[in-house]
Amino acid sequence: MVSIFRIIDKYVIWFFILIFFWLKYIPFVDKNKIKKSPKKILVIRLWALWSSLLTFPMIKQVKEHYWKWVQYELLASTRNIWVYKNQWYFKNMFNIFSIKDLLKLIISFKQYDIVIDTEEYFKISAFMSMRLGKINVWFNNIPLRWLAYNIWIKYNDEQHSVLTCLDLIKAIWIDYKIPKQLEPLKYTEKDTKQVDEFLNWLEYSKIICMHTGLAETAKERAWPKIKRVELIQKVIDKDRKIKIVLSWTKWEYDSAQEIFSALSGEYHKNVINICWIFNLFWFAYLLEKCDLMVSNDTGPMHLAAAMWTKTIGLFWPNLPMRFWPYPLDKNISLYKWNGKAYINVHLWKFEEDVDFNIEKIEIEDVLENIDF
């Protein structure tokens, strides 16, 4: 399903935008009137479960700006819709991979006063926002795609993605405030009980979460396993009461188990592979209880930062200025930059890092940023 979606988006949707871009002018609307009293607002975020966390500050400030009777809805996908589940933002959430939801949207021509499209490069979101919104907002960084929008703003790739997302609401006349931190993922009391039961049988001075996994399209961001193993052993040597949990899903289980197996036997009692044990909301609460997260540049890094856990992000080839664990005054990004941006998601440009610069981050670079 995902691969088909990507092919259709890349090779078909651009044609529909080119043919139907004039739909953005129908109906003719008074933008100032909509600005003052919108009735329905749609936010589009189709991809990246964890980067969806970076949209929370923008959504919160939109809700705080407009009157309470505005109805907020979300268009997402199976991949990321769950990250919004317990948040207070939306009355309705639609899954683009659900036939039922898709049919509802197909018959909803211009049903939203404002559509805020947060997708950096997917064209399907452009077509949907053009069809669904009287005012639709996006960036102007990809040729052709910007044809679908009647309001756009320059994509600033020299700031954090949180602020870039907030720039979208500047385009609809909202003066945003720079957030001091990310909005935490909401969990329930039931979720806390499950995690507390897990923690009760552990004896520890501190808990450090180490996330070794990556998305299927981002293997070049992986810090070498041999360095991860040595780091774990050195951390435990500093404090024999520290417990280290390797996270998070079935996807990362084998990778985490390889690290566990490579450890000398004396360290096994201090390390726990929790992959495939906790659901999203249990994991969020667990991170809140952790003293530190050490992670590749991937989603759980952002979740840890959102749960206000000190986070060390190991970066390459993404640039920390765009995706460091927010905020930087609490968290740390480690990278050895050669001056080139290999990943420019907002331009749909992805270059291979032949030098594999992530390996240049040394074990001591991480150790010196861990408080024992």
The per-residue pLDDT for range 116-146, each reduced to its tens digit, is 999 988 899 999 999 999 999 999 888 888 8
pLDDT value of residue 217: 63
> pLDDT > 70: what percent of the chain?
98
**CA angle 107–109–115, rounded 5-degree value:** 120
Q: What is the DSSP string of 55-110?
A: GHHHHHHHHHHS-TT-EEEEEE-TTTGGGGTTSSS-SEEEETT-HHHHHHHHT-TT
Averaged pLDDT, 325-345: 86
Tens-place pLDDT, residues 35-85: 888 999 999 999 888 889 999 999 999 999 987 789 999 999 998 999 999
CA distance 192 to 287: 11
pTM: 0.93
Q: What is the CATH number of domain 189-367?
A: 3.40.50.2000
Q: Could you give the CA distance from residue 301 to residue 295 in angstroms, rounded to a whole number?
A: 6
Model confidence at 1: pLDDT above 80: no
What DSSP designation does 138 have? E
What's the confidence (pLDDT) of residue 184?
A: 96
Look at residue 2 in the predicted model and tell me its pLDDT.
66
Mean pLDDT along residues 355-370: 90
The three-state secondary structure class of 74 is: strand
**Segment holding 273, helix H or strand E:** strand 271-273
Other C-beta atoms closer than 10 Å to the C-beta of 186 total: 13
Which pair of tokens denotes residue 126?
A: 């452009």
Give 2-170's CATH code, choosing from 3.30.930.10, 3.40.50.2000, 3.90.1170.50, 1.10.357.10.
3.40.50.2000
In the predicted structure, residue 336 carries a pLDDT above the cut 90: no
157-175 per-position pLDDT tens digit: 999 999 999 999 998 989 9
Q: What is the mean pLDDT of the chain?
A: 92
Instruction: Cite the residue boundaries of each domain of the chain with CATH code 3.40.50.2000.
Output: 2-170, 189-367
